[in-house]
Amino acid sequence: MKTRIVANSLALTLAGAAVVVAIPDHAHGATTVPVVAGTGWKLNAPAITHIDTAPWTIAFHDTASRTKLTPYLKKTAAELSSYLGVKIVVSTKIVPVTRGKCVTGHVISYRYMSKPDPLNPNRSFTGSCGNSAHAADGAYVYINSDYWLKTRNFSEPIRMNVIWHETGHAIGLNHPLTCPTNSAGLRPLMCADTYKDLRDRRYSPYEATAFRHLVTNRLALAAQPLIANRTYKPLESS
């Protein structure tokens, strides 16, 4: 199966399909407990329960990572911005990453390399971190460059789904507890076994629900006390 992605067409699709964020009942005072999971979606709670209004920057570990991944991440950033209502900019910045060390300040830095996890050579993975208010604050993302080897026979849609999946982790999503199929035949992209799906908008309605709760949970958390000087270690997910 082949797909053709045209930048201008995608931009128009995103502009026309931006999600209108509806505030759920819990944000109107029914409860101050954030909603962190549901059918087909889950957040990286308790480290991350929501997203604040600060803009995000996508950076890169090195110039090779920037060259390879920038065309993909411009599309990823546009789709995420349409869901979250926050500014996400793909920069040219070099922010070197070290596995196990948080990237903070609303920065996601990507590294493109072969077998980034030697114990799991087929793996790509993300380490995401929240701040003291449990808001998503930054992440490092390792994308396995072996997916581009001709001998691996990865299709372009599969590679795209991997990048979108890992970026979902970076912004605060985890693997859902259940992996259902909706009426349109779509399964959650955040399920680790759904890379065969092919669609222009990579995130499914299940991720759209998760993103909506990342936004509205900040209202529920406004009444919660902060955990002073709390530092989170990266929560790694593949």
pLDDT at residue number 32: 66
pLDDT at residue number 224: 58
DSSP 126-155: EEEEE-TTSBEEEEEEEEEGGGG-GGGT--
Q: How many residues does the chain have?
A: 238
Distance from C-alpha of 13 to C-alpha of 194, rounded to nearest angstrom = 23
Determine if residue 220 is left, alpha or beta; phi over 0 gives left, psi from -120 to 50 gives alpha, anything else beta: alpha
pLDDT at residue number 225: 54
CATH architecture of 37-219: 3-Layer(aba) Sandwich (3.40)
pLDDT at residue number 85: 95
pTM of the model: 0.82
Dihedral, CA of residue 150, residue 153, residue 155 and residue 158, to nearest 10: -120
β-strand pairing of 107-113 with 56-60: parallel
Tens place of pLDDT for every residue, the chain, 238 residues? 333 333 333 333 333 333 333 334 343 444 468 899 999 999 999 999 999 999 999 999 999 999 999 999 999 999 999 999 999 999 999 999 999 999 999 999 999 999 999 999 999 999 999 998 899 999 999 999 999 999 998 889 889 999 999 999 999 999 999 889 888 777 899 987 555 544 556 899 999 999 999 999 987 776 555 544 455 678 888 8
- Helix axis angle for 156-171 and 205-221, nearest 10°, is 10
Distance from C-alpha of 76 to C-alpha of 203, rounded to nearest angstrom = 10
pLDDT at residue number 78: 97
pLDDT at residue number 196: 52
